[in-house]
């Protein structure tokens, strides 16, 4: 789409005009009326009206006159939101908005179950859809307009995330009733209304409803528990809440009432059994398990660590398998890099990260912090609603990775291992033959225990021993790190380190150690 097409179909917030940044008015520095290009043609610029200008879509008359409506010198933009009448925002519905739904399961990327308030789901307005659904019960049919969140889009969003082997979704109602649907049914986005032939209906987690005859699509009511509940209105058929699973029909004859579940309180995503892609699967690949290591080091870490490939592949709690796009689409299995750094190695609590550099065996490196930013490191690279974690992969497309094309176990595409850095939609950031991760950072000083150990080489050791009760200061504010210690202080430190309890002695062993002194015990 060219610029003329953009202006004719949508508003834009412009910051430049005819090749020049926009300025406030004709008297502002940087204003240009025109210039002569390399061919001797005078080009009008007239870049006033900035630094920001809103340009409205053109009408047919404006296109003919080569003009457009605009607002100059934009200083603020205020967006007024219209309340969603289907949401549980006001009484008597507000209390239902505080109800929670639990979402989790092995087919998700969140691991442990996570709770979402109904109001929290209703706030995800970019996922909200409204549709007229036909509920076919076999002997009767019922038309209801539902509003809710697109369930598949929500499950694959960064809030939940789906594993590549996610297979089924189990829905549980407040009364214990369950429905299990294959993930394919959740993904499907072309369900129909068998009566009106309305199509492109999605599986939704509905929170509000209305009559299909209501001409105002924005007029709805939040779902309540049943037709006896406060706030129920028979015109809107708003029972079954606060959340109802709604699935359309696959055909006119499809009896879909069995797939409608009221008062949904739990969603569990199951995963199909998968074969391991680890190097331990065969002797051919097992030879690499103890031969190859990776070092995690850097100034931001509590301490550097080195792991063998065997140790890495045993970290099942941070291993993921997902599909990545770079020179085509590939599946990889490996370790969540951020979790490896933070959960397995440990970042110093006072560290402000400055670099997360992944290094290959030939010395080539990528600083992921500068390329992607911290959010992508922590939560994954955004791809629409989905997030793809940055991983250290040990397998690709079903095969363990090997060092190069001449290595034992090589098959098309599995070279560059046994550890490779994989990043989604960025081939240039991917890295083969990874041997080191360097996590650097600046230490933020939150105050030393003693004034005279700030900047001292032994500060960390002094504070460690003090917190263990092995040493004390020479006052409440000083430690005197350069002072010679006495024999008594030295013995106390030894006793503290070996964790022996002091013993009361009644016989004098040394002439210069009075029995009534603290260090005589």
Residue 2 banded pLDDT, cuts 50, 70, 90: very low
**Domain assignment of residue 366, yes or no:** yes
pLDDT of 9: 66
Higher per-residue pLDDT: 60 or 270: 270
Q: How many domains does the chain have?
A: 3
Give the whole-angstrom CA distance, residue 100 versus residue 118. 6
Whether residue 66 is predicted with pLDDT greater than 70 in this model: the reply is no
Query: Does 362 lie in the same domain as 213?
Result: no
The string of DSSP codes covering 410-451 is: --TT--S-SSEEE-TT-GGG-BSSEEEEEEEEEEP----SSG
Whether residue 326 is predicted with pLDDT greater than 80 in this model: the reply is yes
Whether the Cβ atoms of residue 387 and residue 379 lie closer than 8 Å to each other: yes
Query: Does 228 lie in the same domain as 108?
Result: yes
Which segment of 19-28, 210-219, 251-260, 459-468 scores lowest on mean pLDDT?
459-468
Query: Does 239 lie in the same domain as 287?
Result: no
pLDDT of 39: 83
Whether residue 333 is predicted with pLDDT greater than 50 in this model: the reply is yes
Query: Does 204 lie in the same domain as 58?
Result: no
Q: What is the mean pLDDT of residues 319-338?
A: 94
**Domain assignment of residue 493, yes or no:** no
**What letter would DSSP give residue 13?**
E
* pLDDT, tens only, 232-263: 999 999 999 999 999 999 999 999 999 999 99
Average pLDDT along the chain: 89
Higher per-residue pLDDT: 432 or 273: 432
pLDDT of 507: 62
Whether residue 521 is predicted with pLDDT greater than 80 in this model: the reply is no
Higher per-residue pLDDT: 437 or 411: 437
Check which CATH number belongs to the domain holding 139 and give it.
Answer: 3.90.420.10
pTM for this model (two decimals): 0.56
Q: Of the residues 71, 103, 126, which one is the last residue of a structural domain?
A: 71
pLDDT of 501: 59
Q: How far is CA 55 from CA 1, 13, 43, 367, 442, in A?
A: 17, 7, 21, 39, 45
Query: Does 418 lie in the same domain as 362?
Result: yes
How wide is the angle at C-alpha 281 spanned by C-alphas 280 and 283, nearest 5°?
75
Whether residue 504 is predicted with pLDDT greater than 60 in this model: the reply is no
Higher per-residue pLDDT: 298 or 39: 298
Whether residue 344 is predicted with pLDDT greater than 90 in this model: the reply is yes
Query: Does 266 lie in the same domain as 125?
Result: yes
Query: Does 415 lie in the same domain as 373?
Result: yes
310 dihedral zone (left: phi>0; alpha: psi -120 to 50; beta): alpha
Whether residue 95 is predicted with pLDDT greater than 50 in this model: the reply is yes
Give the whole-angstrom CA distance, residue 414 versus residue 404. 8
Which segment of 29-33, 36-40, 136-140, 300-304 scores lowest on mean pLDDT?
36-40
**Domain assignment of residue 468, yes or no:** no
Residue 169 banded pLDDT, cuts 50, 70, 90: very high
Range of the domain at 215: 94-271
**Domain assignment of residue 121, yes or no:** yes
pLDDT of 1: 39
CB neighbour list of residue 491: distance below 8 Å, 6 or more residues apart: 519
**Domain assignment of residue 486, yes or no:** no
Which segment of 253-262, 325-334, 510-519 scores lowest on mean pLDDT?
510-519
Higher per-residue pLDDT: 272 or 354: 354
Query: Does 429 lie in the same domain as 403?
Result: yes
The string of DSSP codes covering 136-170 is: E-SS-EEEEEEEEEEHHHHHTSTTT-B-TTEEEEE
**Domain assignment of residue 86, yes or no:** no
How many percent of the chain have pLDDT more than 70? Answer: 91
Query: Does 136 lie in the same domain as 60?
Result: no
pLDDT of 3: 47
pLDDT of 433: 97
Q: Of the segments 271-275, 280-284, 335-339, 482-486, which one has the largest average pLDDT value?
A: 335-339
Q: What is the mean pLDDT of residues 189-213?
A: 95
Query: Does 200 lie in the same domain as 310?
Result: no
Q: Of the residues 251, 271, 291, which one is the last residue of a structural domain?
A: 271
Q: Of the residues 408, 443, 478, which one is the last residue of a structural domain?
A: 443
Query: Does 296 lie in the same domain as 265?
Result: no
How many percent of the chain have pLDDT more than 90? Answer: 62
**Domain assignment of residue 497, yes or no:** no
Q: 351 - beta bridge partners?
A: 443
Which segment of 95-104, 397-406, 509-518 scores lowest on mean pLDDT?
509-518
DSSP strand pairing (386-388 vs 365-367): unpaired
Give the whole-angstrom CA distance, residue 367 versus residue 378. 15
**Domain assignment of residue 504, yes or no:** no
pLDDT of 418: 97
Query: Does 117 lie in the same domain as 32?
Result: no
């Amino acid at each position: 789409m060219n610029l003329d097409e953009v202006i004719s179909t949508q508003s834009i917030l412009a910051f430049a005009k005819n090749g020049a940044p926009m300025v406030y008015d004709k008297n502002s520095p940087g204003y240009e009326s025109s210039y002569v290009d390399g061919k001797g043609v005078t080009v009008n610029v007239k870049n006033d009206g900035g630094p920001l200008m809103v340009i409205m879509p053109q009408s047919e008359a404006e296109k003919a006159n080569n003009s457009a409506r605009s607002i100059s010198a934009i200083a603020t933009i205020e967006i007024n939101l219209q309340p969603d009448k289907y949401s549980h925002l006001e009484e008597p519905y507000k209390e239902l908005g505080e109800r929670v739904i639990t979402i989790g399961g092995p087919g998700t990327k969140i691991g442990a179950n996570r709770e979402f308030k109904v109001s929290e789901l209703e706030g995800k307005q970019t996922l909200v859809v409204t549709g007229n659904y036909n509920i076919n019960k076999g002997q009767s049919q019922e038309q209801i307009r539902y509003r809710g969140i697109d369930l598949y889009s929500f499950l694959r969003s960064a809030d939940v995330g789906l594993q590549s082997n996610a297979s089924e979704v189990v829905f549980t109602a407040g009364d214990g009733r369950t429905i299990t649907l294959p993930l394919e049914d959740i993904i499907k986005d072309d369900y129909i209304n068998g009566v009106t032939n309305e199509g492109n209906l999605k599986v939704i987690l509905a929170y509000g409803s209305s009559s299909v005859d209501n001409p105002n699509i924005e007029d709805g009511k939040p779902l309540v528990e049943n037709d006896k509940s406060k706030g129920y209105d028979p015109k809107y058929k708003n029972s079954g809440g606060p959340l109802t699973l709604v699935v359309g029909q696959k055909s006119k004859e499809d009896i879909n009432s069995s797939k409608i579940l009221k008062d949904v309180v739990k969603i569990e995503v199951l995963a199909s059994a998968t074969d391991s892609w680890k190097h331990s699967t065969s002797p051919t690949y097992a030879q690499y398990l103890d031969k190859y290591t990776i070092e995690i080091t850097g100034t931001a870490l509590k301490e550097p660590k080195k792991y063998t490939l065997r140790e890495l592949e045993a970290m099942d709690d941070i291993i993921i398998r997902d599909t990545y796009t770079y020179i085509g689409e590939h599946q990889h299995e490996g370790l969540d890099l951020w979790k490896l750094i933070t959960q397995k190695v440990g970042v110093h609590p006072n560290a402000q990260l400055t670099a997360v550099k992944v290094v290959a065996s030939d010395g080539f490196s990528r600083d992921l912090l500068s390329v992607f930013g911290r959010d992508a490191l922590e939560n994954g690279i955004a791809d629409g609603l989905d997030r793809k974690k940055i991983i250290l992969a040990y397998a690709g497309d079903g095969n363990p990775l090997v060092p190069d094309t001449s290595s034992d176990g090589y098959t098309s595409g599995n070279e560059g291992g046994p550890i490779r850095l994989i990043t989604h939609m960025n081939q240039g950031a991917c890295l083969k033959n990874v041997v080191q991760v360097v996590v650097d950072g600046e230490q933020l000083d939150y105050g030393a225990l003693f004034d005279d150990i700030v900047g001292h080489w032994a500060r960390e050791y002094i504070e460690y021993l003090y917190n263990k009760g092995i040493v004390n200061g020479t006052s409440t504010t000083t430690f005197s790190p350069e002072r010679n210690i006495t024999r008594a202080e030295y013995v106390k430190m030894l006793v503290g380190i070996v964790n022996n309890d002091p013993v009361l002695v009644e016989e004098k062993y040394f002439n210069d150690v009075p029995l009534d002194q603290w260090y005589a015990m």
